[in-house]
């Protein structure tokens, strides 16, 4: 049995505008049912990438395939049905102001030539799926930002696309509404097995729902991988800076002693299924050391705990510090002795 073609695959994609290279060497595969985040700062090439994926822009080199079908050489009429396989969700919703919520959702079905009966049944199902029952007759101006985006999502889902392409879909929403829309996307992904490509400039959006992330910088892929790994152990400078990961940062208010004894300040980067292990109580049980958390935290990234802790460890004997560090290093992503804490007394 051959495995199904990926929903989307890009190979060696390059796009130039004059002498400016907006995208180069883009290799990307999106498998069925996954949520992939694409993150980058302004100018990184996100819009150009979207335009290459939906056929609005032709790459200068490389291939873009949707469900195994290469689109870069297709003419407008051949592109149309392939484009319909990608549902677009936009930052500013792009709803028709003079049509109700239900009519906005119905429009792509009318264009697709669906008969009235099944069309209206489908609109009802979609309204229910996105939590808009009872609001079907409201016009966009009578809906909140979150409700408008629910209409946008339902409209994108109406033609049963193979993939949802979310272009900064939560960037115009407040944090609470962002949370609700991301929860809706995650729910749709789970319930329908729908593939979602999330384009964003916000790490938090990626952290909440993307299983995998691609970091774009200056038109190139700077880093890619499972979201929790990239968050727990970022490699590229741009990822570290997007994450606000300053490797040298000390928690506020802590001062390191010039000498080397007493309570050791240790920075621990945790991530992965083992991150919940009882690390600190281990230090007491194995080494008779006392350990306290001075700063930091652990939170789930794609369901996997990830975090950075600053821990003060007082070994029973100075010689214990080395084996303590080795023990911590064996069960964390990174353990680093930063120095010794100045005591207040
Ligand atoms: N039609 C164009 N003509 C010339 N340069 C362009 C064109 N489109 C994009 N660019 C340039 O290509 C680079 C990538 O732009 P792009 O819009 O893809 O970035 P972006 O990551 O989407 O940024 P933003 O988040 O600000 O929308 C930028 O330097 C931009 O100025």
According to DSSP, the β-strands at 304-314 and 256-257 are: unpaired
Indicate whether 1 pLDDT > 60: no
Could you give the domains of the chain? 8-242 (3.40.50.300), 256-341 (3.30.70.260)
pLDDT of residue 273: 74
Interface pTM (ipTM) of the complex? 0.95
Atom 6 of ligand 1, residue of closest alpha carbon? 17
d(CA 153, CA 101): 11
Give me ligand 1 centre to Cα 222, in Å.
17
Count helices and strands (H / E) in the chain: 11, 15
Ligand 1, atom nearest to 219 Cα: 14
Ligand 1, atom nearest to 44 Cα: 21
Ligand 1, atom nearest to 18 Cα: 4
d(CA 312, CA 296): 12
Could you read off the pLDDT of 14-68 as tens digits, one per residue?
A: 999 999 999 999 999 999 999 999 999 999 999 999 999 999 999 999 999 999 9
Ligand 1, atom nearest to 51 Cα: 18
Indicate whether 13 pLDDT > 60: yes
Label residue 303 by pLDDT band (50, 70, 90): confident
Indicate whether 341 pLDDT > 90: no
Atom 4 of ligand 1, residue of closest alpha carbon? 17
Could you read off the pLDDT of 279-301 as tens digits, one per residue?
A: 888 899 999 999 998 888 888 88
Average pLDDT of span 257-276: 82
State the SS3 of the chain.
CCCCCCCEEEEEEEEEECCEEEEEEEEEEECCCCEEEEECCCCCCHHHHHHHHCCCCCCCEEEEEECCEECCCCCHHHHHHHHCCEEEEECCCCCCCCCCHHHHHHHHHHHCCCCHHHHHHHHHHHHHHCCCCCCCCCCHHHCCHHHHHHHHHHHHHCCCCCEEEEECCCCCCCHHHHHHHHHHHHHHHHHHCCEEEEEECCHHHHHHHCCEEEEEECCEEEEEEEHHHHHHCCCCHHHHHHCCCCCCCCCCCCCEECCCCCCEEEEEEEECHHHHCCHHHHHHHHHCCEEEEEEEEEEEECCEEEEEEEEEEECCCHHHHHHHHHHHHHCCCEEEEEEEECCCC
Atom 11 of ligand 1, residue of closest alpha carbon? 22
The percentage of residues in the chain with a pLDDT greater than 70, rounded to a whole number, is 97
d(CA 311, CA 268): 8
* All residues at 6 or more sequence positions from 204 whose CB lies less than 8 Å from its CB, including other chains: none
3-state secondary structure of 268: strand
Which amino acids bring their CB within 6 angstroms of ligand 1?
17, 20, 22, 40, 42-48, 201
Closest alpha carbon to 56 in 37, 39, 72: 72
Task: Select the more confidently predicted residue: 295 or 227.
Answer: 227
Average pLDDT of span 175-180: 95
d(CA 206, CA 189): 14
Closest alpha carbon to 123 in 101, 96, 99: 101
Question: What's the sign of the alpha-carbon dihedral 314, 317, 318, 322?
Answer: negative
Give residue for tokens 């962002």.
Answer: 178
According to DSSP, the β-strands at 61-66 and 69-70 are: antiparallel
d(CA 14, CA 21): 8
Atom 17 of ligand 1, residue of closest alpha carbon? 47
pLDDT of residue 345: 47
According to DSSP, the β-strands at 304-314 and 264-271 are: antiparallel
Give me ligand 1 centre to Cα 47, in Å.
6
Label residue 100 by pLDDT band (50, 70, 90): very high
The percentage of residues in the chain with a pLDDT greater than 90, rounded to a whole number, is 75
Give me ligand 1 centre to Cα 44, in Å.
7
d(CA 255, CA 344): 10
**Total Cβ atoms within 10 A of residue 10:** 21
Question: Which structure tokens are listed for 143?
Answer: 């809906």
Residue in 38, 40, 48, 242 to alter for ligand 1 test, most ligand atoms within 8 A of Cβ: 48
Atom 12 of ligand 1, residue of closest alpha carbon? 22
Give me ligand 1 centre to Cα 127, in Å.
35
């Amino acid at each position: 049995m051959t495995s199904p073609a990926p929903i989307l695959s890009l190979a060696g994609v390059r796009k130039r505008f004059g002498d400016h290279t907006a995208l180069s060497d883009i290799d990307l595969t999106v498998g069925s049912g996954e949520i992939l985040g694409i993150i980058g700062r302004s100018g990184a090439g996100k819009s150009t990438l979207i335009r290459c994926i939906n056929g609005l822009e032709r790459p200068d080199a490389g291939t873009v395939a949707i469900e195994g079908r290469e689109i870069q050489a297709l003419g407008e009429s051949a592109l149309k049905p392939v484009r319909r396989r990608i549902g677009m969700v936009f930052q500013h919703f792009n709803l028709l102001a003079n049509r109700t919520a239900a009519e906005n959702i119905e429009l792509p079905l009318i264009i697709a030539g669906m008969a009235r009966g099944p069309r209206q049944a489908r609109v009802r199902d979609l309204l229910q799926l996105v939590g808009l029952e009872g609001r079907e007759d409201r016009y966009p101006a009578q809906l909140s930002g979150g409700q408008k985006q629910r209409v946008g999502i339902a409209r994108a889902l109406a033609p049963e696309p193979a993939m949802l392409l979310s272009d900064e879909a939560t960037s115009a929403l407040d944090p609470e509404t962002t949370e609700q829309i991301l929860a809706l996307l995650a729910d749709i992904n789970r319930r329908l097995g729908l593939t979602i490509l999330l384009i964003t400039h916000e790490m938090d959006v990626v952290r909440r729902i993307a299983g995998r992330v691609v970091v774009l910088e200056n038109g190139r892929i700077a880093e890619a991988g499972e979201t929790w790994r990239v968050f727990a152990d970022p490699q590229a400078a741009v990822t570290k800076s997007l994450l606000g990961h300053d490797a040298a940062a000390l928690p506020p208010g802590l001062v390191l002693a010039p000498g080397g004894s007493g309570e050791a300040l240790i920075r621990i980067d945790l991530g992965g299924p083992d991150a919940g292990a009882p690390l600190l109580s281990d230090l007491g049980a194995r080494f008779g050391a006392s350990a306290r958390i001075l700063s930091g935290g652990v939170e789930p990234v794609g369901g996997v705990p990830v975090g950075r802790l600053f821990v003060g460890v007082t070994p029973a004997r100075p010689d214990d510090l080395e084996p303590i560090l080795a023990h911590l290093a064996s069960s964390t992503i990174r353990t680093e002795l930063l120095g010794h804490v100045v005591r207040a007394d």
